[in-house]
Amino acid sequence: MGQEAGKKWAATVAHCQCVQPALPKSGRLPGITLFVLLSLAAQPVFSRDADWDAWSNIQGKAYAALQAQGIADKDRILVHLAHTCSLKKGHKTYRVLEMRELVRGGPSPRGINYLVLMDNRFRVAAKVELGMARPYYCDAGKVILNLPVDIPWLGNTGNVLVLDDLAHVVRAEQMETSDMAGFRPKRSERH
Amino acid sequence: MTINQNWKNTVDDGINNAAWDAYDTIIHNEVGDMICSADQHYNARFIENAYHTKYTGVDWKLMKAILWVESGGPRNSAWTTRPMQIGNKGDPAYDVLKRGADDSSIIMASDLLSTIKTQSIDQPELNIRTGIAYLFTRMAYFDTDTVFDPDDAKVYLEVVQQGDSLEKIGKRVGTTVDVLASLRKLGKSKTLQPGEKLQYRKATLQRVIKSWRTWDYQNIAARYNGGGDPAYAEKLEYVHATLFPKLVR
């Protein structure tokens, strides 16, 4: 399908070239060069459709698994399901997913928003209610969020979720945005 | 986030239209005024136990503002069925309360749980009461703690036997480790000696309200709406702080 779309896109561009009024000689070279460059740039993008299809496939499987495990609900509208990052814990890799659903009806639909940790076999290891918060990234066994979330079983609030080897949240800590990875030089470089 | 003008026009209708006040009595009776009284409404019940939880009372008009935001007003069909939007398909809130889960059984008045279980949630009064109970459940912090037997204030004495631990004694005499340790000079730290005398009051470990989140628009939006409507907090503020003072009745 990607290659087909690529051909169509190339044909459209070629057609545009045909119906365009002839450019003055000085303007033709940049036009042709642009076309060649665009074609070259477009080529690898079209060849990655398989990757995108693979992600859609994984996303579908993850959503089905979330439904089967009672976290997602087919009566709600799934508006967002993304793989934020992956965490290595012991010998296992956990996928950190951000899931957002809306309850139908009403002018202000209720949001059911979860951070879900799922193993490679699509089994949910942990879930944390996100509310308005969003996960940013994973860092050495931690998940960093933009806003603090409540961890009711710990009686704890924070935007850094510390996980044990089973991917259970064992602690929530606070971190300023300015201290997040990539926002500033590493501490050792500051001194 | 800016509030949509169409939405503002809808709720602005409430300034001159008294139909928007139709459920005031239900809400007021349920939440109560911000005073300690003998009534069974939320403010009276929770202010009475405010020593540990620091509950200072909630303005019932906050619930009215939620009702306006949730229902869209009397012109909306939800107004006469599920004005607080509890019980919509796929909504976990209704199920939580029906099961008394997430410590909601501590929050709800005694009659409410049985009414939720037996009656249709598509009745405005029950829907509003359930919505308020859900919000209170979501605004509270819960924990497991020692609760003394309210009908038995007597202090008992127990003699430690060979092989006893505070856990064992607690189970045997009907109290908790914390009670035994708090009335013991050595606390939990030192090993029990056979023959040692321990004082205790009858108590059990129970789920209790530990404290409350701040009753501000942001927290209410996050806890009741769950992040579904990014403008929810602003909508609440608009209705509660801007519109309500202007109501013409």
ipTM: 0.83
Residue A57 domain-assigned (yes or no): no
Question: What are A132-161's pLDDT values in tens digits?
Answer: 999 999 998 899 999 999 898 887 899 999
Residue A116 domain-assigned (yes or no): yes
Domain region containing A17: 2-47
In terms of CA atoms, which chain B residue is nearest residue A77?
B90
**What is the model's pLDDT at position B188?**
72
The average pLDDT across A174-187 equals 74
Measured distance CA(B236)–CA(B247) in Å, rounded: 15
Question: What are B158-208's pLDDT values in tens digits?
Answer: 999 999 999 999 999 999 999 999 988 777 767 898 999 999 999 999 999
**What is the model's pLDDT at position A184?**
55
User: Angle at the Cα of A144 (from B214 to B139), degrees rounded to 5?
Assistant: 20
Kindly list the residues from chain B whose CB atom is less than 8 angstroms away from the CB atom of residue A132.
221-222, 227, 230
* Domain match, A114 and A43 both: no
B78 contacts A105? CB cut-off 8 A: yes
Measured distance CA(B79)–CA(B68) in Å, rounded: 9
Measured distance CA(A129)–CA(A136) in Å, rounded: 15
Is any Cβ of chain A less than 8 angstroms from the Cβ of B9? Answer: no
Is-above-0.90 flag for pTM? no
Residue A176 reports pLDDT greater than 60: yes
Residue A56 domain-assigned (yes or no): no
Measured distance CA(A130)–CA(A112) in Å, rounded: 8
**What is the model's pLDDT at position A10?**
38
B16 to chain A, closest Cα gap in Å: 21
CATH topology of domain B155-201: Membrane-bound Lytic Murein Transglycosylase D; Chain A (3.10.350)
Q: At what angle do helices B124-139 and B24-31 cross, to 10 degrees?
A: 40
Amino acid (one-letter) located at A126: A
Is any Cβ of chain B less than 8 angstroms from the Cβ of A132? Answer: yes
* Domain match, A106 and A164 both: yes
Tokens at A104, concatenated? 């139908």
B229 contacts A108? CB cut-off 8 A: yes
B70 contacts A109? CB cut-off 8 A: no
The average pLDDT across A108-118 equals 96
Residue A173 domain-assigned (yes or no): yes
A108 to chain B, closest Cα gap in Å: 6
Residue A68 domain-assigned (yes or no): no
Closest alpha carbon to B78 in B18, B128, B28 = B128
Kindly list the residues from chain A whose CB atom is less than 8 angstroms away from the CB atom of residue B89.
75, 103-105
pLDDT band at A47 (very low <50, low <70, confident <90, very high): low
Residue B156 reports pLDDT greater than 70: yes
Residue A105 domain-assigned (yes or no): yes
* Domain match, A163 and A122 both: yes
Residue A84 domain-assigned (yes or no): yes
Structural domain spans, chain B: 5-141+211-246, 155-201
B72 to chain A, closest Cα gap in Å: 6
Size of interface A-B (CB pairs under 8 A): 81
Measured distance CA(B48)–CA(B37) in Å, rounded: 8
The average pLDDT across B50-57 equals 82
**What is the model's pLDDT at position B37?**
67
B92 contacts A106? CB cut-off 8 A: no
Q: How many domains does chain A have?
A: 2
* Domain match, A93 and A166 both: yes
Of B10, B217, B225, which to mutate for an interface test with A (greatest number of A Cβ within 10 Å)? B225
The average pLDDT across B216-241 equals 96
Residue A31 domain-assigned (yes or no): yes
